[in-house]
Structure 1
Amino acid sequence: MAEVDMDPEVARGLFEEGATLVLLDVPEGTELGIDYKSWQVGPRFRGIKMIPPGLHFLHYSSSNPKSMGGEIGPKMGLFLSLKPRELVLAHWDRNEEDLDFSATQNVEEVERVKAGLRELDPFLGPYPYDTLRKWVSLTDRVTQEVAEALQPLNGRVCAFCDVVPELQLTHTRDRAEQNLPRNDTACQNMKEGLDRLPRMKQREGTELRFSHIPKQMYPPGATPAQITQCSMDLSYALSCLLEQHYPQQPLNVLGELQFAFACFLLGNVYDAFEHWKSLLSVLCRSEEAMRTHKELFLGLISVLYHQLGEIPPDFFVDIVSQNNFLTTTLQDFFQFATGPGMDSTLRKRAEKFKVHLTKKFRWDFEADLDDCAPVVVELPEGVTLE
């Protein structure tokens, strides 16, 4: 870990007031990082010092020794809310290839490490303050409460799902009871072979606990015209999501958007990216909600401004269709946010953001949407939709 070029007095103050992660026995070669920066662990590494108070994402990947190829394993991490002068202690568990933080609960051991912190200082890498501003801009809406509510119950954000069989089919008779093909005969075709594979599910407690986005975007008993309207304006779906998950603090949905983005960008969690896209789609297509939740959508523009600076402009292009998810989604957003009856501040901010994206990424938000616009269909009296 590279040293930070910093005034000695400033460094001393940060050392005294900042939090410290003491991470013992981490194998050399492990890829480890905090927030927006990562390193390969060297032989002298014992942790990270001078960490500013607040929310941080500690992430790491175990690796094989160079003599065995040096391959890097899947990334995992956890969100930590650190207080001034706090010391968090963890030991590397070689069997689990993970950090064990149980030592932090041992007050006596923590106090012993604190007492020897000066001697440990040469083995602690400084927090990367050159990336702090970027980290804060990407997570300023993620409170400790939001992070705790969204991260898995086991506390680990993992790039690859930990899966287990839906059914424990240890014996041939177990498969017979489930009307599944026997495993002790030759497969006749590919389908039969696939049918013999166990159905897998994510291990309980390892799932990211994102908000549920309603599959039915319209209220019960809606007319065909209302169904069409709710398919164009997703305000009903957004209101259901906010009422279920953020009834007291609707702006916390922006924290969830940032949390999902950070899990994808820094934790390599693809499911988080898919949720980010789904949540963004609902937000950007909620026209009526833009009139009633102005602050939410002003905040959305700020969140997106920082997030979109971290990803190449062609990242969202569908390889098959060549459609850009972001341009089509934001095109709807700009159309709604700059429409009649919208708050002037939101309208001006949206127009400014649109100009910024057009200049930076050369995205075209002026394409004609009429050819693909949905049409409201009134069914004859007495005719219902199945």
Structure 2
Amino acid sequence: MDPATQTHCVLLLDLPPSALGGIDLLSFTTTPRFRGVKNLPPGLHFVFASSDMSLSVRHGAWFYVSPGGGAPQVFIKKWSPATEELVDETSQTSVMRWKANLGQIWKDALTPYRQTVPSGTSEEDDAAEESADWSSLTSRINATLLSRICGLNPDHWSLSSSSSAAQDLERIPGLDSSNSIINPEKELKFLPIDLKRTWREGATGRERTDAAQDRSWALGELVDHHCQGSNLRMREFEILGELQFCFLMVLTLNNSSCLEQWKRLLGLLLTSRQAIRERSQLYLQLLKTLSLQLTHCASMEASMFDMHEAGGGFLKPLLRRFKKNLDEFDGKWKSDIEEEFEELQEFLQQEFNWELDDSYVKRGMLELEDGERVEMDMNGADEDDETGEYAPTVVELSASQMKELRRSDVRQGGGARAAEEDEEDADLDDMDTRY
């Protein structure tokens, strides 16, 4: 093979027969002659594989193709039959041998890189047509972000369907995960988000209430103390990078922990009212990112994003709350955000029949075919209007009830102290028994 015709490529070696393989947004069933993908464009890429097309655990790895001239880059990943995972080829002897023999497999065993598969021209069975949005979907992901989440392993930032953040692990009392005979899964180091506590340490009363309703303080804390960018804009965009990472790992690996973090990030961003004004560029890019992501939700297996659920799952209420907060601001600064949100709103209305404003009938009389009239209402209408069971209620306590409440608090405090004393006595008894 003429070296001048060689391009960047990734080798996927030792895959089982009829295994699932994929790169970026394209997945396919491999054939016995398949050895990898050639003609890779510069930028970040993600390869993944599993032993078959069923619901088996998928393993994947990120790598970076450098732009510019120089010798073409060759990335070598291989399937480990012992652990059933995709690993990096670390043997320099094997790496040199495969590079020297590329000419033998270049034409027939390496498929050209593409993200769309024209009908009737697929080289692999079950190839799925995907759009060419990969570069936009990864625009905020970089090596620093991948190293923080997946560990410092350049060009093989790996994870699997079972990889999880610590807060998403299902803890089983009495079971020490370090003693498991199964290879422990990699822990994902996500940005720490706790939507149940979005106020500063020591906050009380009204400050807590405001911070729970407007999570701008928690967002600022995340940007200032946990993101690693060199300036404010880069730190803000790191949050978008993690949002992109999580979405793509759900899309390709069906990783449930990434799905939970994707929801947490949106739950924080879309409920931070004051931040919309203070970080307008962040929110403009957020809406562009989210719009592109939602166009790919139809590709998701098992409807993990809940887009077709009654009431719109978790996302529709968040978007309605964001729109309400945005409408409360005045000024020309928000015109770009409003325009982007209107495009998103139009897409959601056409694709999922979502209504994000209040200009629709929530309750009314519906006449059936037999002439009978019944009263109908929309799901969640009471919650939106704060009526019915969602209506706020003010409870006035009598003097005797207040006295009983204080007495109950005292009893609970005394009970806790008594329990601590009993525990200390039990520890002393155990020490006497042992020694």
TM-score (normalizing by structure 1)? 0.74
Greater C-alpha radius of gyration: 2
Query: In the TM superposition, what are the counterparts of 1:313-332 in structure 2 within 5 Å?
Result: 315-316=305-306, 324-332=313-321
The 1:14/1:364 distance shift into structure 2, 3 A limit, reads: farther
Query: In the TM superposition, what are the counterparts of 1:12-51 in structure 2 within 5 Å?
Result: 16-17=6-7, 19-51=8-40
Q: Deviations over 1:173-223 (max 9, x none)?
A: xxxxxxxxxxxxxxxxxxxxxx99736589767011110013421123334
Q: Deviations over 1:340-371 (max 9, x none)?
A: 23523223322333233223321021256341
Contact 1:56/1:81 (8 A) holds in 2: yes
- Alignment equivalent of 2:357, drawn from 359, 366, 369: 366
Cα offset, 1:126, TM superposition: 1.5
Q: Which residue of 2 aligns with 1:245?
A: 226
SS of match in other structure, 2:386: helix
Matched, 1:75 2:61: no
- Alignment equivalent of 2:262, drawn from 276, 282, 286: 276
Cα offset, 1:73, TM superposition: 2.6
The 1:272/1:152 distance shift into structure 2, 3 A limit, reads: farther
Cα offset, 1:303, TM superposition: 0.6
The 1:198/1:205 distance shift into structure 2, 3 A limit, reads: closer
Query: In the TM superposition, what are the counterparts of 1:35-184 in structure 2 within 5 Å?
Result: 35-63=24-52, 73-83=56-66, 85-103=72-90, 106=92, 109-121=94-106, 122-130=108-116, 131=130, 133-151=132-150, 155-161=157-163
Q: Which residue of 1 aligns with 2:347?
A: 356
Cα offset, 1:338, TM superposition: 3.1
Matched, 1:208 2:188: yes
Distance in 1 separating the partners of 2:4 and 2:162: 36
Q: Which residue of 1 aligns with 2:429?
A: none
Q: Which residue of 2 aligns with 1:266?
A: 252
Distance in 2 separating the partners of 1:205 and 1:265: 19
Contact 2:386/2:392 (8 A) holds in 1: no
SS of match in other structure, 2:209: helix
The 1:236/1:31 distance shift into structure 2, 3 A limit, reads: same
Cα offset, 1:252, TM superposition: 1.4
Distance in 2 separating the partners of 1:294 and 1:263: 27
Cα offset, 1:137, TM superposition: 2.7
Aligned partner letter, 1:243: D
Q: Which residue of 1 aligns with 2:327?
A: 338
Contact 1:228/1:376 (8 A) holds in 2: no
Unmatched 5+ stretches in structure 1? 1-11, 64-69, 164-194, 378-383
- More moved, 90-99 vs 308-317: 308-317
SS of match in other structure, 1:51: coil
Q: Deviations over 1:132-160 (max 9, x none)?
A: 62222322221222222222568432112
Q: Which residue of 2 aligns with 1:286?
A: 272
The 1:37/1:318 distance shift into structure 2, 3 A limit, reads: closer
- More moved, 21-30 vs 49-58: 21-30
Contact 1:334/1:351 (8 A) holds in 2: no
The 1:98/1:88 distance shift into structure 2, 3 A limit, reads: same
Tell me how large the CA RMSD over aligned residues is. Answer: 3.6
Q: Which residue of 1 aligns with 2:212?
A: 231
Q: Size of the alignment, in residue pairs?
A: 331
Cα offset, 1:301, TM superposition: 0.6
Cα offset, 1:317, TM superposition: 6.0
Contact 1:316/1:324 (8 A) holds in 2: yes
Contact 2:26/2:115 (8 A) holds in 1: no
The 1:281/1:196 distance shift into structure 2, 3 A limit, reads: closer
Distance in 2 separating the partners of 1:33 and 1:222: 49
Cα offset, 1:308, TM superposition: 0.7
Contact 1:153/1:205 (8 A) holds in 2: no
The 1:239/1:44 distance shift into structure 2, 3 A limit, reads: same
Unmatched 5+ stretches in structure 2? 117-129, 166-171, 359-380, 395-405, 414-435
SS of match in other structure, 1:251: helix
Distance in 1 separating the partners of 2:20 and 2:211: 47
SS of match in other structure, 2:206: helix
Distance in 1 separating the partners of 2:189 and 2:21: 24
SS of match in other structure, 1:73: coil
The 1:247/1:54 distance shift into structure 2, 3 A limit, reads: closer
